[in-house]
Amino acid sequence: MNLFSYFLDYDEPLFRPPSEAFSMIFQVTLGCSWNKCSFCEMYKSKSFTSRKEEDVLEEIRRAGETFPEVKKVFLADGNAFVLSSSRLLRILDALKKSFPSLSRVSSYALPRDILSKSSEELVSLREAGLQLIYVGIESGDDNVLKMVDKGESADSTVEGLLKAQEAGIQCSVMIINGLAGSQYYREHALNSALLVNRVQPRYLSTLVLTLPYGLPKYQKQFKGIFHPMTELELLEEMKIFIENLELERTVFRSDHASNFLILKGTLNRDKEEFLTNIKKIRSLFHDNPSLKRSKPHLFSL
Ligand code: SF4
């Protein structure tokens, strides 16, 4: 739980990226405007709405009276970046007034939310403080994106991310390990790497597919044949992904609670070290078939 959640009346469930653990969070929207991805249950209990602007501005004003020292703010929920630029600018202006030491505002975004804004609007948003967006790419393979109903293609994702970056907004992107199952994992890994190479994001992370509502539900929603992956296959997928990354200076994190192999570093600088670590863990699983990934088996080399 975030310290500020004791003081703000959040509409639960509330999600934020791990790196926003110490940010003040304002819910400017509720839910996700897409809410269809077959692997995602985050906002299934909510219908997407934009919160009343006057309520949000009043909340910011009151929070500023109690915590004027706040440096980072995360705008929730699912894709707060869907709001119009004019509304986001008014929110950013209120944040700046209430928190004089504010150094960064961030939010989740979908590529289409970025593409719906002009380059000039994106520059204005960055200048007003919105410096970082978190984008779930999930996969760089068009077939996989269709099978999970992401509503984006590899090209629309690249176009959106490059447009944000050209406006000076940093992108933190995420790929899901295991998303496509054992039938399609090679294409998923390779095309995800190729997409990320085209974007050269500032931050990249991976997490492992988790199915809180069970495998049968996901298999029903997945528009293809989904076979869950073994630990060895998940590691093989990571190997193909990392091997094919050609990045100049991207901070990489695979340290989400779902990851059973922790990798942290900068790519491509640490690529060989990551591959060596993956190889070691693969041998471990190969030599110990009864070994299963689970929280007690977190591997950090
Ligand atoms: S766009 Fe993001 S938040 Fe919305 S359903 Fe898909 S994964 Fe979930």
Instruction: Please provide the CATH number assigned to the domain covering 1-108.
Output: 3.30.750
Ligand 1 centroid to residue 43 C-alpha, Å = 8
Contact 235, 177 (CB under 8 A): no
Q: Is the CB of 42 under 6 A from ligand 1?
A: yes
- Give the residue range(s) of CATH 3.30.750 domains in the chain: 1-108
31 Cβ below 6 A of ligand 1: no
Supply 220's token pair.
Answer: 């029903």
Q: Mean pLDDT across the stretch 178-206? A: 97
Q: How far is CA 229 from the centre of its chain?
A: 22
Instruction: Please give the distance, rounded to the nearest whole angstrom, from the Cα atom of residue 108 to the centre of ligand 1.
Output: 10
Burial 51-76 (b: 16+ CB within 10 A, else e): beeeebbebbeebbeeeeebebbbbb
pLDDT in tens, 132-190: 999 999 999 999 999 999 999 999 999 999 999 999 999 999 999 999 999 999 999 99
Distance 183 CA to ligand 1 centre (A): 23
Q: What is the pLDDT of residue 113?
A: 97
Please name the residue whose Cα sits nearest to atom 4 of ligand 1: 35
**Confidence tier at 295 by pLDDT (50, 70, 90):** very low
**For residues 94 and 109, what is the distance between their CA atoms, to the nearest angstrom?**
21
Contacts of 146 (CB under 8 A, 6+ apart): 223
Confidence bin at 292 (pLDDT 50/70/90): low
Total number of residues shown for the chain: 301
Ligand 1 center from residue 116 Cα (angstroms): 18
- Best of 27, 30, 32 for a ligand 1 pocket test (most atoms within 8 Å of beta carbon): 32
